[in-house]
Structure 1
Amino acid sequence: MWTGTLYALVAGLMWGLVFVGPLLVPEYPAALQSVGRYLAFGLIALPLAWLDRAALRQLSRADWLEALKLAAVGNLLYYVCLAAAIQRAGAPLPTMIIGTLPVVIAIAANLRNARRDGHLPWARLAPSLLLITAGIACVNQAELAAMRAQDHADLLRYATGALLALVSMACWTWYPLRNADWLRHHPGRNPRTWATAQGVATLPLALTGYVLLWLGMHASGSAFPMPLGPRPVVFITLMAAIGLFASWLGTTCWNEASQRLPTAIAGQLIVFETLAALSYAFVLRGKLPGAQTMLGVVLLVAGVAWAARVKPVPVDCVEAERF
């Protein structure tokens, strides 16, 4: 349990980087940042795939098709929506919307995977869910108050950002459930190999997306200097760093956690991503969070700590108690 939690913590620290990337290159379109990140991820995965080629050969055609689906939804679609949301609404609002994932995934997994992973009793799970929800509400309220204090706040732009963040949330509710399905059905497979396989599957999708985006911008007469934009060194460095640390290392650690933890518990531990993203965003702002934000962080951590103590109960035992 605690080893899985530690892996989830490292994954969250890595994934938090993706929330500040769009703020560092705001002039780059969200779609370009998405395909750029995953093109870097795919290229990083190639030498890793060569080193792990024996294990990758054991994957079936169905396995590669699943990796392709996970790459398309959990990687490309998720990040293009998230990057666009951050550019429109800033980092905190999308971060808090994505921060509802621990609650959403825990509930979905408890309804969907109870027979496989065991049933987490709602009475025991409720306190952690309430603490996490309260923490997210506190941070969200503080950020909304800061937004309302701005003289030139574009509410429509913020609303669009929030909508895109909701699409990202839907993508990443689907992704960990499907990813955990594959990992739990293949307990003998190395999670690192599965992360590398997703990187290899992402490469042709990202490359195709990059070419189509380039052609589309050229056809529309866009003044944006393709293929690497106005700051190519910064863009390449940032995409490579996010591709290595957030995409490959983060996915590897998450796969390790998913093999060790019930999906409902693992879903709640995505809260580490929220905490990391908020920390990085405030470092980028150059100021400390306020008291309400800090209270939210404390509630989030308390909720995760509580959730880690909840033990799943076999469904047969739950059904027997009813009779």
Structure 2
Amino acid sequence: MPSTNRIILGLLCGMAAGALWGVVFVAPELARPFNGMQLAAGRFLAYGVIAAALITPHWKRLSALIGAKEWWALIVLSLLGNIIYYIFLASAVQFGGVAMTSLVIGFLPVAVTIIGSRDKGAVPFARLAPSLLMSAAGVGLVGWQSLGGTAPGEMKGQLIGLACAFAALGSWTAYAVSNSRWLARLPHVTGQDWSLLTGVVTGALALVIAIPAFLIRPGHFAPDEWMRFIAVVSGMALLASIVGNALWNRMSRLLPLTLVGQMILFETLFALLYGFLWEQRLPTALEYVAMVLVVGSVITCIWAHRPPAQRVIASKTS
């Protein structure tokens, strides 16, 4: 059972990572002329270049710590958590909108926490049930709000967006679980170094998808659109991929997998906040209730992870 200080530090790292990751939900709107594969290729090429520059001074030490199994794991994690995930996420935003995509990705905590509850020594599933129910209710309300008013002519695009969002959900669930377990197996590799190694591999893989992304579907883009594209993908690479991933890896080492899953809710909250700012509107009453439920689910999950003695003391003093 993690200590209270570890939980607090892990919570802060998870919140910061969510704030940075939430930006990627709005980025496709900022560079709308470019499709999801082009955005993924640009973002992760930039991620690879920045990661390679930062990791160069430590390359000799790190290369001695990483074997063939770890390199294969980095390839799989780079595909699941970066390239495949973001191609589907960007497509979902462009077809279905920020709110709908945030809704579906909001189910990540439920999926990851259910998987994590099977780990040895994990918090019993019964103690997690209130948190999971609140999480499901919160994202359900967001879904009702975002999909309920869809016009018949827009239904095809919404369905394509929904399918892409669920594909992104499956890809990132597999990444979150596998990445957390690999970090536990490699205590001699820091979370920051693992993130940079992931970035180098992701950048190399992005070279492969860049060819079909920009040659098969080149498009006709104005100079100002190219400048905006470069600014957007570079910003995502630095803020979300470099800093956000490092914070997430730090958090993954501080918290158990069942609590790691709940931290993904902060990405949903910040994505919704950025979406409201982009659309220049306030949340509706249902969206306010949904966000309260999402925050409540995190708090109840944290409560479930407190040592038994602290839960008893807290209940007696309340």
Contact 1:36/1:239 (<8 A) preserved = yes
Pairing of 1:224-263 with structure 2 (within 5 A):
224-225=219-220, 231-263=225-257
Q: Which residue does 1:91 correspond to in 2?
A: 98
Which range is displaced more, 193-202 or 64-73?
Answer: 64-73
Pairing of 1:2-21 with structure 2 (within 5 A):
2-21=8-27
1:80 aligns with 2:87: yes
Q: Partners of 2:168 and 2:255 in 1: how far apart? A: 24
Q: Which residue does 1:166 correspond to in 2?
A: 166
Q: Partners of 2:280 and 2:213 in 1: how far apart? A: 34
Q: Partners of 1:127 and 1:164 in 2: how far apart? A: 29
Q: Which residue does 1:189 correspond to in 2?
A: 189
Contact 2:262/2:301 (<8 A) preserved = yes
1:104 aligns with 2:111: yes
State the percentage of identical aligned residues.
32
Q: Which residue does 1:309 correspond to in 2?
A: 303
1:131 aligns with 2:138: no
Unpaired stretches in structure 1, ≥5 consecutive residues: 314-323
Q: Which residue does 1:27 correspond to in 2?
A: 33
Q: Partners of 1:302 and 1:215 in 2: how far apart? A: 47
Residue identity matched to 1:8: G
TM-score (norm 1): 0.89
Shift of 1:286: 0.6
Contact 1:11/1:253 (<8 A) preserved = yes
Pairing of 1:110-121 with structure 2 (within 5 A):
110-111=117-118, 114-115=119-120, 118-121=121-124
Contact 1:125/1:307 (<8 A) preserved = yes
Q: Which residue does 1:272 correspond to in 2?
A: 266
Cα deviation 1:120-155 (Å, max 9, x = unaligned) = 11221111111111111122212123x33x5x7410
Q: Partners of 2:241 and 2:153 in 1: how far apart? A: 33
Q: Which residue does 1:39 correspond to in 2?
A: 45
Cα deviation 1:192-230 (Å, max 9, x = unaligned) = 00000000001111112112323323xxxx5x137x976
Shift of 1:51: 2.9
TM-score (norm 2): 0.90
Residue identity matched to 1:300: V
Q: Partners of 1:205 and 1:124 in 2: how far apart? A: 41
Cα deviation 1:220-243 (Å, max 9, x = unaligned) = xx5x137x9761111100100000
Equivalenced residue count is: 300
Q: Partners of 1:102 and 1:292 in 2: how far apart? A: 20
Unpaired stretches in structure 2, ≥5 consecutive residues: 1-6, 308-318
Q: Partners of 1:241 and 1:90 in 2: how far apart? A: 21
Q: Which residue does 2:312 correspond to in 1?
A: none
Contact 1:28/1:229 (<8 A) preserved = no
Contact 2:122/2:256 (<8 A) preserved = no
**How well do the aligned residues superpose, as a CA RMSD in angstroms?**
1.7
Shift of 1:178: 0.6
Contact 1:187/1:259 (<8 A) preserved = no
Shift of 1:187: 1.8
Shift of 1:23: 1.0
Shift of 1:304: 0.1
